Amino acid sequence: MNLKELLEKIRQELKLRNYSPRTVESYLGCLNEYFKYTKNIKREPDVALIKKYLLEKQDRKQSSQTINLHLQAIKYFYREVMKNSSAIDVKFAKTASKLPIVLSRAEIEKIISSLGNMKHKLLIALAYGAGLRVSEIINLRVKDINLDELTIHIKGAKGNKDRITIFPEKLLPLIKNLAVLKNGYDYIFESNRGGRLDERSVQKVFENALRRAGIKKEATFHSLRHSFATHLLESGVDVRYVQELLGHANIRTTQIYTKVTNPALRNIKSPLE
């Protein structure tokens, strides 16, 4: 089996296990690089070679997230494709503990106000108001929004999980106007050519709005979701409800936002008079 055939076999295995398109492409990219490095692909993993491969990545100053992704892909290959149960005793690289970049309510308002295009304005407002990932906002269909109950049914989100999140009542008139001529299976936010928007174009809309609003923070589209979680906690919403709205499997993932919005710390005044 040549390299092209092997990668195609791995692609099919990943799809059968319902991995997201992004994960499929990430794993294939990692394994393509690993196979070219090893040259001779065997059923048994060469742990010493794997360690050498990952250490060289570290020496090239590649991030711990990148190194861990390569290790996950390699472990998946031997376990699921080569059906080898041998333990690959390599520890994951320690990842940096960084706080999420959060925009203030005033900054969110500036970003939305800077947009002249009504569809873009609504897209950004809804992503923030419902705590949506970029992949979720572009896949949102008319039938996924329950306007009577003010809820959104997110389907096949990260980890292929469904969840229910809140719909901001303030956006009711705008969403009704946008969806008036659409059927239930139409995307809420379609491209100018029809069909689904692509992620990069949505991220570009956000980046341009951020610049026009004069905000210097290194925020991304995902910062809208970070801000949604942080502002709910600031409003006194229990962290477990926030966890459910975000669709986090582990509460520790949600608790990172409590470090951004610790009221006790904010009430402490500096000794500098």
The answer to whether residue 96 scores a pLDDT higher than 70 is no
Q: Which long-range contacts (CB under 8 A, 24 or more apart) does 191-194 make?
A: none
pLDDT of residue 154: 94
Tens digit of each residue's pLDDT (9 = 90 or more) over 100-158? 999 999 999 999 999 999 999 999 999 999 999 999 999 999 999 999 999 999 987 77
158, 163, 182, 212: the catalytic one is 158
The residue ranges of every structural domain in the chain are 3-81, 105-266
Domain 105-266 has CATH 1.10.443.10: yes
- Annotated active-site residue 133? The verdict is yes
Over residues 174-188, the pLDDT tens digits come to 999 998 889 999 999
Query: What pLDDT sits at residue 264?
Result: 65
Average pLDDT of the residues of the chain:
90
Out of 248, 252, 266, 269, the active site residue is 248
CB atoms within 10 A of CB 18: 10
Task: From the candidates 70, 121, 133, 231, give the one annotated as an active-site residue.
Answer: 133
Topology, domain 3-81: DNA polymerase; domain 1 (1.10.150)
Q: Given the residues 57, 70, 120, 225, select the one marked as catalytic.
A: 225
Is position 222 annotated as part of the catalytic site? yes
Is 105 designated active site? no
120 is catalytic: no
Q: Has 43 been annotated as catalytic?
A: no
**Pick the catalytic residue: 53, 78, 187, 257?**
257
